[in-house]
Amino acid sequence: MKPQNIAPKSIAIVGATGAVGVEILRVLERRNFPVASLKLLASARSAGKTLEFQGKPHRVEELTAGAFKGVDIAFFSAGATRSREFVPAARAAGCVVVDNSSAFRIDPDTPLVVPEVNPGDLQRHKGVVANPNCTAAILSVAVWPIHKAAGVRRIIVSTYQSASGAGAAAMQELEDQARDFAAGKDIKRAVFPHQIAFNVFSHNTKVAENGYNEEENKVVEETRKMFGMPDLPIAPTCIRVPVLRAHSESITLELDRPLSPEEARAILANAPGVKLVDDAASNHFPMPLEASGDLDVHVGRIRRDLSNPNGLMLWVAGDQLLKGAAWNAVQIAEELAKLSAKPMAAE
């Protein structure tokens, strides 16, 4: 459903020329979001480029502290360093920031929101709303309806993460490596630490002292925060795979009570943001190829965990650039627009 009765908003996109920035622009168009005015902001090297929105070219401007005057909602998709540097200026100018980086996600004063899960948290924002890590966002959309029905005690998740999670340059690297491999040429790598074409490897983030990499720790911390369950046991393994776009996840849940696959299918078939893809007869289940470009998270392979009477297993695929980033951000903006008539909380 497209947004209804939302007053036009002045929008800024920081990191407009990046993979997520471009997707935000497309989703705003796709949703027919009422944009009163649009500012496209990026680094000095990208300033002067043009991007099309609603059939008209818009010039990219250099990101500066003074660029946010008159802006209602600013999408930040230029990394945590830029967010920490420029979000204060955006807030001071009176606009609300939807931040796609990790800069504010674990800040206790900043709501971390997936609208299908915890939209009520938006009411306590203080000028910044954090968009979660892509893996946590996709996971939460699939698991939350099950949690509401049967209570989740524990989550075990293994992820199969596409090149898109590392940006446009990573996607290009996968394409280039595949082309060079087919031509018998030497494989070159610049973005990833290992060859991504025809290979899988542990997620390319630093391994922390607890033995889990940054991506895995994000999944734990952010899912707990969104669910309001600070002690929820979560065991993640995050892997990079040679897929251009859309992440996949193998999820095993331990529940408070048994939930049959039939009950789970009925719940998920009616859950917001979920597309049930669970055709055992045709061996047709979620695939990143089909999830790419879809706003919904695809969920299937719903089956009992044979090792646990209270266990349930799912296979999930979701577009990292959409539900994992741009679409979730625009959803947040739609919800903020509905709340904009209410006074904002003071810091």
Q: Looking at the annotation, which residues are catalytic?
A: 134, 247
Long-range contacts of 266-270 (CB under 8 A, 24+ apart): 267/145, 267/146, 267/149, 268/142, 268/145, 268/146, 268/299, 268/302
Q: Residue 232 in contact with residue 152, Cβ under 8 Å?
A: yes
Looking up tokens 């910044």, which residue turns up? 128
* R_g of the chain computed on alpha carbons: 20
Q: What CA–CA distance (Å, rounded) separates 46 from 192?
A: 23
Q: Residue 92 in contact with residue 69, Cβ under 8 Å?
A: no
C-alpha distances in angstroms, 221 versus 95, 135, 244, 261, 281? 27, 12, 26, 28, 37
Q: Estimate to the nearest angstrom the gap between the alpha carbon of 205 and the chain centroid.
A: 17
- Within the chain, how many helices (H) and strands (E) appear? 8, 14
DSSP character at residue 133: P
Q: Residue 34 in contact with residue 3, Cβ under 8 Å?
A: yes
250 backbone φψ class: left, alpha, beta (φ>0; ψ -120 to 50): beta
Q: What CA–CA distance (Å, rounded) separates 325 from 130?
A: 11
Q: What CA–CA distance (Å, rounded) separates 241 from 204?
A: 11
